[in-house]
Structure 1
Amino acid sequence: MMLVVSALSLSVSMLFGQDVMVARQATLMGSVFDITVIDSDSVQANKHIDQVIAEVSRIENLISEWQPHTQISRVNQQAGIRPVMVDREVFDLTKRAITYSEQSAGAFDISVAGLDHIWRFDGSMDELPSAEVVKRSVAHVGYQHIVLDSAACSIYLSKKGMKIGFGSIGKGYAADKGRALLKTLGVKGGIVNASGDLATWGKPPHERYWKIGLNHPFRAHKMMCILKLSEEAVATSGSYEKYAEIADVRYAHIINPKTGYPSTGLTSVSIYGPSAEIANALSTSIMVLGKKKGKALLKAFPDYNYIFVTDTGRVSKSRKH
């Protein structure tokens, strides 16, 4: 069985001996999630999928910056005013995000969400923001201004106008949490795929591995490689699906937090290893850092491998491939 990461669209139930494989789609966190489980029967499998959907919805209702009632929205609403108490889970996720910022020398930064209002990648953008607008907006970006108080379990954005968001690691975190839940429930194997950021465990019937196909960003309907995974995770960041095209120039949706402008140099970064959250953070960081500095960053993460595609179409893979 081979699953194409960027275009998985399973909605099936298949019987294999005493086990059944059930797959279902759901729209969560503004993206399509594909959840596949190997279970004892279809009723139980669908019950377990329901539990994953509930878990991801729970996470979304904590960390979405687009829904006004969430804890992260309240943090953003109180930027420059006061700290906001949050659940320990939200606090810890924010703390890890700051660690990713430190490890990547600021290439990863959840406060880059403060630039959402000047860059739009929904097809409505027809001119570049002015240099002055970008400069003013970047002044509100900086993970160093996210103040955490562990005793109070609070988050404070010390600059008015700041905003944080988990678009860069939220889906990877949800995939990890979904997998952890299903393993706790005794599900033998499966995939929690959050629009290409996915976590696997176990194996499909009559196979040794889950086979995950990665599409080539420059060659439609062509895969550049097939990953064979058991209990692993994959995350891909790229400039080829969400972008703005202005005056025949393509501007990617991944923004460099230091400049306020879209990243260049790499068209696609796929990272695979134990955690979808960490793979997500690394793929985002490396899109900003570029190939050379990205490889240097990965030396601190020996359990993770990479597949890069440059803006000129050159594919570079870690030694495992």
Structure 2
Amino acid sequence: MRVLPVLVCSLFFMLSKGQEPKDVTVKQTLKLMGTRFEITVIAPNEDIGYINIDEAISEIKRIEKIISSWDDASETSLINKNAGIKPVKVSLELFHLIERAKKISEITDGAFDISYASMDKVWKFDGTMGKAPSEAIIKSSISKIGHDKIILDADKQTVYLAERGMRIGFGAIGKGYAADRAKELLVSKQVKGGIINASGDLTTWGTKATGEKWLVGIANPLSKEKVFSWLPVVESSVATSGNYEKYIVLNGEKYSHIIDPRSGYPTTGVHSVSVFAKNAELCDALATAVFIMGRDSGIHLINQIDGVEVVVVDSDNKIHKSSGILFDKNQ
């Protein structure tokens, strides 16, 4: 029965000295949406931190149940099953996500397109491919792709894929969207700061427990341990698309695993693209689009969008950036 007075006295002594309990950093890494998520929160103690992380995990799993094309019960699978047959009524959340995806397709001239999932897989990146597919095969592989074939009816809240065999997929925007929603949830619960990192697509808020800014490193694609520059990510997001691991070399030319949905050909000329914006969803989509569009067209596009910046590392390992990026190369 003497424990309580001792604790109260200890706490009073600590506060009387002008000290406050220090926040701690709590981190968990796990596989979600088929990829590696790392969730970091700043919390008063570890127990509360892990409770916050569990809430973020539940939110990400909820989103996966809506957008997964691997889950037969998901709304996305239902849309795909009814391609060329009938419109499908969906949740307002999914309707708005598809609506935003179509807008990004329009501003990128189709370099980003969620109907890329309709593509027949004719390119192999497992070392078994000795030559490129014929032009006819490539043309046929993309015949069902086209964001204009995704028909939305706002009044009825329906989505209709105009051709049989069409499919949509959220591989180039879903992780960013999930990171945004998990962050939104934690901010609503007064979590002071943190990072949701979805395999390189990340969003931040607040600061580290020390009060310092969150930083992201722009890495050398040929040596990931070497960082070209550190950039602060304050109440903001970043997503990176790269060809570090999955690519093929045909006739001396290196082809990325990222396929241009407009041509059916793999992209060349770029090693990595990092896009900075307020929302991870937008970063995720635009990183893919800029990678496909190429260095000059991609940077030109980003320079026209307020609040968005980009760093591009080309195939010669040279760094290029949009007008609002400032680095200190001595860092």
The two structures have a TM-score, normalised by structure 2, of 0.87
CA 1:247–1:308 in structure 2 vs 1: closer, same or farther (change >3 Å)?
same
Q: What is the SS of the residue equivalent to 2:223?
A: coil
Q: 1:60 aligns with which of 56, 61, 64?
A: 64
Distance 2:149 2:256 in 1: 26
1:19 and 2:41 correspond = no
Deviation readout 1:128-164 (Å, 9 max, x if unpaired) = 4333222112111100000011122111110111111
Q: CA deviation at 1:165?
A: 0.5
Task: Give the stretch that moved more between structures: 148-157 or 206-215.
Answer: 206-215
Task: Give the stretch that moved more between structures: 80-89 or 128-137.
Answer: 128-137
Deviation readout 1:234-283 (Å, 9 max, x if unpaired) = 00111223334556654312111110111122111101121111111211
Q: 2:129 maps to what in 1?
A: 126
Q: What is the SS of the residue equivalent to 1:167?
A: coil
Q: 1:41 aligns with which of 45, 64, 69?
A: 45
Q: What is the SS of the residue equivalent to 1:267?
A: strand
CA 1:125–1:59 in structure 2 vs 1: closer, same or farther (change >3 Å)?
farther
Counterpart of 2:258 in structure 1: which amino acid?
I
Q: 1:3 maps to what in 2?
A: none
Deviation readout 1:64-98 (Å, 9 max, x if unpaired) = 11222211111111111111111111110000000
Q: Of the two structures, which has the highest relative contact order with CA contacts closer than 8 Å and spacing of 6 or more?
A: 1
Q: 2:209 maps to what in 1?
A: 205
Q: 2:110 maps to what in 1?
A: 106
Q: Say what the alpha-carbon RMSD is for the aligned residues.
A: 1.7
Q: CA deviation at 1:214?
A: 2.8
1:320 and 2:325 correspond = yes
Computing the radius of gyration from Cα coordinates, the structure with the larger value is 2
1:165 and 2:169 correspond = yes
Q: What is the SS of the residue equivalent to 1:221?
A: strand
CA 1:220–1:198 in structure 2 vs 1: closer, same or farther (change >3 Å)?
closer
1:191 and 2:191 correspond = no
Q: 2:292 maps to what in 1?
A: 288
Q: 2:17 maps to what in 1?
A: none
Q: 2:244 maps to what in 1?
A: 240
Counterpart of 2:129 in structure 1: which amino acid?
D
Q: 1:304 aligns with which of 267, 289, 308?
A: 308
CA 1:116–1:139 in structure 2 vs 1: closer, same or farther (change >3 Å)?
closer
Q: CA deviation at 1:225?
A: 1.7
Counterpart of 2:98 in structure 1: which amino acid?
T
Q: How does 1:239-258 map to 2 (within 5 A)?
A: 239-245=243-249, 249-258=253-262
Q: 2:220 aligns with which of 206, 216, 235?
A: 216
Q: What is the SS of the residue equivalent to 1:222?
A: strand
Provide the aligned length of Structure 1 versus Structure 2. 305
Superposition misfits of 4+ residues, deviation over 6 angstroms: none
**Which runs of 5 or more residues in structure 2 are unaligned?**
1-19, 327-331
1:279 and 2:283 correspond = yes
Distance 1:167 1:242 in 2: 16
**Which runs of 5 or more residues in structure 1 are unaligned?**
1-15
CA contact (8 A) 1:125 1:244 kept: no
